[in-house]
Amino acid sequence: MTDTATYLYAVTRSEPSDEIEGLRGVAGTEVRTIACEDLLAYVSTVSLDDFGAEPLRRSMEDLDWLGETAGAHHHVVEEVADRTPVAPVRLVTVYRGDDQVKALLRDRHDDFVDVLSNVTGRREWGVKAYVDLSAPGPTQTAPSLGGPGTAYLKRRQAGLRSREDAWRQAAAHAERLHETLSSVAVASHRHRAQDPELSGRKEAMLLNGAYLVESSRDDEFLKTVDDLRDRGVEIELTGPWAPYSFTDLEVRGDG
Amino acid sequence: MTVDPPRGAALAEQGRLPAERVALVDLLDRLLAGGVVVSGDLVLSIADIDLVRISLRVLIMSVRENLGEA
């Protein structure tokens, strides 16, 4: 009976220059590697007191813990991504021990090789588009007929209509935006739009896109983003990221 | 005539954004919905959607609390 487990961050092709000495991961643990055939897993040994199923259920409710752990996981992935193409693994993937990680590398070897060759020489960019649907429309200044009550109702109806129209137009714009950005990318993925309370902005998020871009086309992609700005939809760019949104083994796997 | 350098190009020049400047919510989009998901002899993986929902609820609650305190 052991009270430790193996936390998995990322998988790469093993290369002779893999030097990660001193790298720290979740809960301040030391990061090490497990090799199997030509694949390398980046892991650290964690305590089941912190990373067992039950403690995790509680910890995931703790924003400070979640922020720290996500940051540490991300840090390891970034450090590895700086050196070699990487397949990041989802947050808090914990194995009973190294043998299970080895078995994973062996059993899913071809899937990992596929994923890694798909992201080699490519980086992920995030593009979020917002629109302010509460902005006053042109109908609000229309001359009013009838009494103040009628005028109010008319304004209100017109306001609702123009809001709906504004939303429809904005959604269509987001779709075009996504298509335009996708045309410069190798692959694209639309994340769920963030709640305004999470995005920290009052504007509605129309697009929360991720784009896998050939490094040689980064400039072209960024120029495309800049060209798209200021057409009534505000754009926020994040990245470059490790290819988190393009390493879905569940989809790519052979089942 | 002066032309502002495009924001994207400026970001690219800086290289990758430091981890601490990455918004947690953008990070969680990727860490909770992306990345390799593997089933098997896991102790635990939060491929379990309920946990994702819990953590997002916590995020929203904490934002609300901050707004309330302000």
Q: Residue B11 falls within a domain, yes or no?
A: no
Within 8 A of B46 by CB-CB distance, chain A residues are: 56, 60, 90-93
Dihedral of the alpha carbons of A72, A77, A78, A79, in degrees to the nearest 10 = 90
The residue count for chain B: 70
ipTM over 0.90: no
What residues have CB less than 8 Å from B60, skipping those under 6 apart? Answer: A195, A197, A198
The pLDDT of residue A41 is above 90: yes
Dihedral of the alpha carbons of A150, A154, A160, A166, in degrees to the nearest 10 = -160
* CB-based contact, A23 to chain B, within 8 Å: no
The pLDDT of residue A139 is above 70: no
pLDDT digits (tens, 9 = 90+) for A143-170: 555 677 777 777 777 777 777 888 888 8
pLDDT band per the 50, 70, 90 thresholds, residue A136: low
pLDDT band per the 50, 70, 90 thresholds, residue A242: very high
Give the whole-angstrom CA distance, residue B63 versus residue B25: 11
Compute the nearest-CA separation of A154 from chain B (Å): 35
Compute the nearest-CA separation of B11 from chain A (Å): 8
A interface test, pick of B14, B22, B27, B38 with most A CB neighbours within 10 Å: B38
Within 8 A of A62 by CB-CB distance, chain B residues are: 58
The range of the structural domain enclosing residue B36 comes to 20-69
Structure tokens at B35: 């990345």
Packing angle of the helix pair B24-33, B49-69 (nearest 10 deg): 170
Q: Residue B5 falls within a domain, yes or no?
A: no
pLDDT band per the 50, 70, 90 thresholds, residue B7: very low
Mean pLDDT of chain A: 85
Map tokens 């995931």 to a residue. Answer: A60
* CB-based contact, A1 to chain B, within 8 Å: no
pLDDT digits (tens, 9 = 90+) for A42-64: 999 999 999 988 888 788 878 88
pLDDT of residue A18: 61
The pLDDT of residue A112 is above 90: yes
The pLDDT of residue A138 is above 50: no
Q: Which residues of A111-147 are buried (b: 16+ CB within 10 A; e: fewer)?
A: bbbbbbebbeebbbbbbbbbbebeeebeeeeeeeeee
Q: Residue B2 falls within a domain, yes or no?
A: no
8 Å CB contact between A134 and A202: yes
Structure tokens at A214: 């050939």
Q: Residue B29 falls within a domain, yes or no?
A: yes
* CB-based contact, B30 to chain A, within 8 Å: yes
Name the nearest CA neighbour of B43 among A48, A109, A28, A62: A48
pLDDT of residue A96: 86
Q: Residue B6 falls within a domain, yes or no?
A: no
The pLDDT of residue B49 is above 80: no
Domains and CATH numbers, chain A: 4-120 (no CATH), 122-135+170-246 (3.30.70)
pLDDT band per the 50, 70, 90 thresholds, residue B58: low
Tell me the pTM: 0.80
* CB-based contact, A91 to chain B, within 8 Å: yes
Number of domains in chain B: 1
Compute the nearest-CA separation of B64 from chain A (Å): 8
The residue count for chain A: 255
